[in-house]
């Protein structure tokens, strides 16, 4: 589902020490290389849901406003120096109409595919998915149509709160085809689908009998396509929120995950890492993150301390380490507010410098050897990506430096070591 998070991102004023003060925060040893957060221009004024690198540019998507012209946009790109907000070349209207939002980006066949909840690009009806070749938007087989009703139950009565025309939630390339998940039931020419489909550059086709609920993550691992999400049925068969597809049939991934769902996938050190808001894998209590080697599940230290609404929502490998972002209070045995680093052996929090603090914000802090130190992020993180040898973190936050760096920052490894 669409994430609308009100988030502030706060980073360290100094390198942190080995133990914390009276706040009870346990901070990992301070012999890590110093890290710095760097603003990306003036940032993005709104929610960033997804990022992708295309045509040597960093594209961001979601729903945001350009303070220069006062217009709303859903797609923009950073070329390393400036932000460019994508307008429709025909009438200058905002990129995607119908008060929509963009939820996913994917590069396929040398074009950038954009998925979300929207109806048009300019005057074109595109229905929740479109593509961009660097100069113009175009249709993707008429798009994917459907409906989604958010409802609240009162006893035996159900009250519908709102309707939309469906959405595209995630996209991934597998066997030279683009697999697309979301909430939809047909194409514009009435090919019947059920929340899951694939595109071969010319036409839409169903993937088996589809899914009974949202697929939130897709990734190829060991020549099979893994799908994770809120579903418990694929192609008419029961699965616990994760399954794998070999091009013709679905099979289980061990006993799957339970007491929650899957929200992100990443391959690290030849294992498939699975993040989400689950609390069990098979008969074991595993919180928020687990790994799969192709045959069996294993824990990742003690996992994450996630609340009812918490989760691991993004995973990305950078500099031979695995970064996890989301909504959590600790990773393994250390306090790591909503973003943490795994090095195959242990978790550690992010620490950074050169940030102006504010006593108007509730900070994740500790008193270390008489110095105030901030660890992690005081809200959630939606997307992580590598671009031009740097690591970008995005969501809905700002760095408190005169509001520069809103909602997106670079996590850049420094050159200073502390012993």
Instruction: Output the pLDDT for position 78.
Output: 95
98 by Cβ neighbours in 10 Å (0-12 / 13-18 / 19+) ranks as exposed
Which residue from 150, 88, 147, 148 is spatially nearest to 120, judged by alpha carbons? Answer: 88
| 378 domain-assigned | yes
Measure the CA–CA gap between 354 and 295, rounded to whole angstroms: 45
| 371 domain-assigned | yes
5 by Cβ neighbours in 10 Å (0-12 / 13-18 / 19+) ranks as middle
Instruction: Output the pLDDT for position 149.
Output: 53
| 18 domain-assigned | no
Domain containing 73: what range? 33-417
| pLDDT tens-place string over residues 119-141 | 888 778 888 999 999 999 999 99
Tokens 């200073």 — which residue? 416
Domain count, the chain: 1
Place 403 in a pLDDT band, splitting at 50, 70 and 90: very low
| pLDDT tens-place string over residues 344-375 | 999 988 764 322 232 222 234 444 344 444 45
| 1 domain-assigned | no
Q: pTM for the whole thing?
A: 0.83
Q: Tokens representing 303? A: 């996992």
**Residue 147 · residue 165 · CB < 8 Å:** yes
Q: How much of the chain exceeds pLDDT 90, in percent? A: 48
| 393 domain-assigned | yes
| 17 domain-assigned | no
Q: Which residues of 169-179 are buried (b: 16+ CB within 10 A; e: fewer)?
A: bbbbbbeebbb
Instruction: Output the pLDDT for position 321.
Output: 95
pLDDT at 173 over 60: yes
Q: Mean pLDDT highest for which of 22-26, 94-98, 207-211, 281-285? A: 207-211
Angle 169-389-180 (CA atoms, 0-180°, nearest 5)?
A: 15
* Those residues with Cβ within 8 angstroms of residue 412's Cβ, 6 or more apart along the chain or in another chain: 35, 36, 37, 38, 390, 391
| pLDDT tens-place string over residues 179-198 | 999 999 988 888 899 999 99
| 52 domain-assigned | yes
Distances (CA, A) of 27 to 312, 325, 336, 337, 415: 20, 18, 8, 11, 21
Instruction: Output the pLDDT for position 99.
Output: 61
| pLDDT tens-place string over residues 373-382 | 445 565 678 9
Measure the CA–CA gap between 392 and 408, rounded to whole angstroms: 7
Rounded to an integer, the average pLDDT of 49-65 is 94
Q: Kindly report which listed range (50-54, 251-255, 279-283, 405-409) carries the lowest average pLDDT score.
A: 405-409
Q: Tokens representing 357? A: 């603090």
pLDDT at 160 over 80: no
Place 335 in a pLDDT band, splitting at 50, 70 and 90: confident
Q: Kindly report which listed range (24-28, 87-91, 158-162, 271-275) carries the lowest average pLDDT score.
A: 24-28
Element (H, E) at 267: strand 262-268
Domain CATH for 370: 2.130.10.10
Measure the CA–CA gap between 34 and 412, rounded to whole angstroms: 9
Give the number of other Cβ atoms within 10 Å of residue 130's Cβ.
Answer: 26
Beta strands 233-234; 237-238: pairing state: antiparallel
Three-state secondary structure call for residue 158: strand
| 21 domain-assigned | no
Q: Kindly report which listed range (113-117, 187-191, 235-239, 408-412) carries the lowest average pLDDT score.
A: 408-412
**Residue 78 · residue 60 · CB < 8 Å:** yes
| pLDDT tens-place string over residues 194-244 | 999 999 999 999 999 999 999 999 999 999 999 999 999 999 999 999 999
Q: Tokens representing 273? A: 């890492």
């Amino acid at each position: 589902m669409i994430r609308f998070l009100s988030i502030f991102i706060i980073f360290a004023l100094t390198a942190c020490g080995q133990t914390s003060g009276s706040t009870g925060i346990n901070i990992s040893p301070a012999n890590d290389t110093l890290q710095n957060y760097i603003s990306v221009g003036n940032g993005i004024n709104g929610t960033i849901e997804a990022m992708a690198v295309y045509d040597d540019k960093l594209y961001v998507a979601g729903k945001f406003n350009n303070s220069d012209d006062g217009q709303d946009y859903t797609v923009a790109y950073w070329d390393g120096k400036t932000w460019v907000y994508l307008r429709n070349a025909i009438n200058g209207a905002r990129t995607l109409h119908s008060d929509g939002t963009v939820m996913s980006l994917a590069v396929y066949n040398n074009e950038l595919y954009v998925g979300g909840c929207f109806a048009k690009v300019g005057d074109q009806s595109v229905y929740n998915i479109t593509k961009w070749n660097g100069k113009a938007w175009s249709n993707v087989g008429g798009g994917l149509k459907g409906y989604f009703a958010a409802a609240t139950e009162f006893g035996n009565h159900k009250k519908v709160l709102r309707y939309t025309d469906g959405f595209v939630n995630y996209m991934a390339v597998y066997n030279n085809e683009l697999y697309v998940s979301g909430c939809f039931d047909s194409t514009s020419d009435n090919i019947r689908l059920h929340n899951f489909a694939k595109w071969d550059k010319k036409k839409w086709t169903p993937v088996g009998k589809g899914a009974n609920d949202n697929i939130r993550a897709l990734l190829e691992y060991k020549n099979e396509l893994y799908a994770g999400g809120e579903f418990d049925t694929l192609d008419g068969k029961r699965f616990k929120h994760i399954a794998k597809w070999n091009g013709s049939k679905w099979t289980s991934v061990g006993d799957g995950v339970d007491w929650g769902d899957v929200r992100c996938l990443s391959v690290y050190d030849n294992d498939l890492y699975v993040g989400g808001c689950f609390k069990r894998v098979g008969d074991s209590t595993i919180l928020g993150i687990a790994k799969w080697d192709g045959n069996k599940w294993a824990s990742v230290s003690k996992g994450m301390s996630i609340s009812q609404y918490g989760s691991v929502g993004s995973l990305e490998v950078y500099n031979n380490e695995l970064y996890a972002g989301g909504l959590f209070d600790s990773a393994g045995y250390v306090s790591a507010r909503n973003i943490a680093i795994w090095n195959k052996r242990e978790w550690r929090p992010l620490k950074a410098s050169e940030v102006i603090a504010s006593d108007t914000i509730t900070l994740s802090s500790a008193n270390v050897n008489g110095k105030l130190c901030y660890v992690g992020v005081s809200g959630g993180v939606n997307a992580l990506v590598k671009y031009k040898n740097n690591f970008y973190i995005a969501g809905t936050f700002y760095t408190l430096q005169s509001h520069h760096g809103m909602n997106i920052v670079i996590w850049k490894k420094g050159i200073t070591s502390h012993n």
